[in-house]
Amino acid sequence: MRAVVHIGMPKTGSSSIQEFLKLNRDSLLPRGIRYAPFNPAFGSQFELAATGVIGAGQTIRDAHSRLILQLPTPQAEAAYVERYRQFLDAGLADWREELFIASSEHIQPWLHQPPMMQALDRFLTARFSDVRYVIYLRDQAELMLSSWSERIRRGEVLDFDTHLDGRLKALNFNWIVTKWEEAVGADRLDVRLLTRDAMVEGDLIHDFCAVMGTPRAGLAEPARMNTALSRQEAELRRRVNRWLPVRRKNGHFNPLHYAAVRALMRLKRGPETPLSLTPEARARIAQFYARSNERLRARRFPDRASLF
């Protein structure tokens, strides 16, 4: 059995891909494609990212995800990965499909150094005849704004400028792609752009079907996932986040938080406006990535005039 693993990045349509796979899990089986998440309640397959972290002798640094997964200690993290190993090995003893497909936007940000990437790759290549990785890249300006919106949705309170200052170095796509190439080989990493002119049929789901090698026709359409917050809701949520957590200690969503957000949004007057970057912020982002994006374009996308 071959494997194709979608490794993110966050806010590049990962939730839409995962909802598509969930909706079509049974329909993909006759096509020879096995989608088998360890935690079906989640979209992202945390188990694969955790396997790389623990396999490299590290611990999960993402406190939000540890809360969701209820992994309070390194021992709990290691036990989680072992349970996944047993789950996957038991499945592989019975599965007869040609392709194993997986998706996790946590893989790329968690596995930020080659030893972690290599640990995941060793785990997978020991079990599959061929392992390929696919990553989608999105214009950093759009990604920066969308990722700030997601952090507010998760319960954080930082302003956009603070987010921008902290994330600039983390979105150097040339560095990210180079590290994965060093870890698994350039020929096993499929780098794709989340732009209409680069995707098959100008559509993410069509493009991902091409990755899987199956036609789009006959498969269910996922709903639009994780739309960005409006400017008004983002500011309101930042205030609510200061006094009501998004999640309880057991990892479940806090209904009081969402009730407060809904009630306060009903009290607001006037139309909602979409989040947008200031011209200064957009220029800063473009200037910061100009050289690294050009290097990646020249190496991976020589026929394009620009990366995005």
Residue 289 in domain: no
CA-to-CA distance for 297 and 287, rounded, in angstroms? 16
CA-to-CA distance for 54 and 290, rounded, in angstroms? 35
| Sign of the alpha-carbon torsion through 209, 13, 48, 76 | negative
Total count of domains within the chain: 1
Residue 242, φ and ψ in degrees, nearest 5? -70, -25
Residue 287 in domain: no
DSSP secondary structure code for residue 213 in this structure? T
- Give the confidence band of 268 by pLDDT, cuts at 50, 70, 90: confident
* Contact yes or no for 141/282 (Cβ under 8 A): yes
The average pLDDT across 50-61 equals 97
Residue 253 in domain: no
Residue 99, φ and ψ in degrees, nearest 5? -130, 130
pLDDT at 10: 87
- Give the confidence band of 271 by pLDDT, cuts at 50, 70, 90: confident
Residue 257 in domain: no
The average pLDDT across 76-91 equals 98
Residue 156, φ and ψ in degrees, nearest 5? -85, 170
Residue 229 has pLDDT above 90, yes or no: no
Range of the domain at 106: 2-154+168-212
Using DSSP's 3-state secondary structure scheme, residue 5 falls into strand
Q: What's 63's domain CATH number?
A: 3.40.50
Residue 246 in domain: no
Residue 269 has pLDDT above 90, yes or no: no
Read off the pLDDT of residues 278-295 as tens digits, 9 standing for 90 and up.
999 999 999 999 999 999
Cβ-count burial 139-165 (b if 16+ within 10 Å, e if not)? bbbbbbbbbbbebbbebbeeebeebbe
Residue 224 has pLDDT above 80, yes or no: no
The average pLDDT across 136-156 equals 95
* Contact yes or no for 201/209 (Cβ under 8 A): no
Structure tokens at 171: 């979105």
Q: Which helix (H) or strand (E) holds 206?
A: helix 204-212
pLDDT at 223: 83
CA 68 to chain centre: 16
Structure tokens at 277: 């970057």
Residue 54 in domain: yes
Read off the pLDDT of residues 100-140 as tens digits, 9 standing for 90 and up.
999 999 999 999 999 999 999 999 999 999 999 999 999 99
Structure tokens at 261: 């957000």
Residue 283 in domain: no
The average pLDDT across 66-79 equals 96
pLDDT at 267: 86
10 Å CB burial of residue 278 (0-12, 13-18, 19+) is: exposed
Residue 100 in domain: yes
